Amino acid sequence: MDDSDTDLAVSRRTLLYASAGTASLSAVGSVRADDSGGDGIDEGIPWLDRNCPEATVEPGMEPCEGASTEGCSDDHPATIALRSAVEESLETQFPDVDALIDAGFKPYFDTLEVGDDSWSHWLNPEFIGDDGLVDPERPESVLVDNDSWRSMGVMFIATRGGEPVAPPAVYGADDTESQCSPWHVHTGLPGRFAWWFYKQTYDHDAADDLEFPCRTPCMLHVWTVDHPEAVYAHDAPPQEDRELSPASAPGFETDAVPGEDELEWDVLPNSLVPERRPDESAPFGLDDIDLGL
């Protein structure tokens, strides 16, 4: 991977230097032979995952190869600069659902995940398909509070042309203890299904590729609301920490009101709702698999 600073476009005011902290990905769609020499079915492994040694049917994630949060600090100048740049981008370009729709973002409401359903991912196929990495002005995904309908962070996705690549560290070299590279991949079924659904629904180049991934590309959260864990935490901050005022009445026709009605598929215009929603699109008979949820 190129170690130049062009991958980390923070803002006009600040430049962070990208450091290639991980090796290239090889796991999306990777295949391994079954250790027993058989097809894996007799070992109690769901056939969906028998060629994915790290995959689980329950929610799961792990750091990307070479990545780590040990060197990360919320008060490090690079973290402050990146968060400030993301905050500026959300405030000026992508503050709420209306702005996200205008900018070409597509909604995804988790269907197989359990727990906190008070936030949603909005993904931009154009930004996922370009060559930029960690560009606050072109975030691959914006994280939205479903109560206020306002943006509260971004999720960078390490792809070029839609294909997984090795992500850069936020700061620090890969041979120092101070490296901050808080990228993660999802190896659990809910996260892998979400990426599969996005590719099937919005990535027309991949629409005919039915291969279910062993893991997602590397992803990185940056929260602009105060988070009790960290700026780069994976889970959303608790609702009481968000302090977001409701968005203005949306520009599309709906009976729902931000701050009063939960943001979900049924409140969005039909043009934004896919023909088959995630809960109607379980691939390869997932509804027949014991998810352990």
Q: What is the pLDDT of residues 81-98, one digit of tens each?
A: 999 999 999 999 999 999
Q: Which residues pair with 68 in a beta bridge?
A: 181
Whether 244 maps to a domain, the answer reads yes
**Range among 72-76, 198-202, 277-281 rated most confident:** 72-76
How crowded is residue 25: how many other Cβ atoms within 10 Å of its Cβ? 21
Whether 23 maps to a domain, the answer reads yes
Whether 270 maps to a domain, the answer reads yes
Higher pLDDT, 198 or 36: 198
User: Into how many domains does the chain fold?
Assistant: 1
CA–CA gap between residue 185 and residue 86 (Å, rounded): 21
Q: Which of 21-25, 90-94, 129-133, 201-205 has the lowest mean pLDDT?
A: 21-25
Whether 213 maps to a domain, the answer reads yes
Q: Is the pTM of this model over 0.95?
A: no
Domain with 169 in it = 7-31+61-278
**Arithmetic mean of pLDDT, 209-220:** 85
Whether 50 maps to a domain, the answer reads no
CA–CA gap between residue 145 and residue 262 (Å, rounded): 9
Whether 51 maps to a domain, the answer reads no
pLDDT of residue 204 exceeding 80: no
Q: What pLDDT does 207 receive?
A: 53
Q: Which residues pair with 123 in a beta bridge?
A: 106, 141
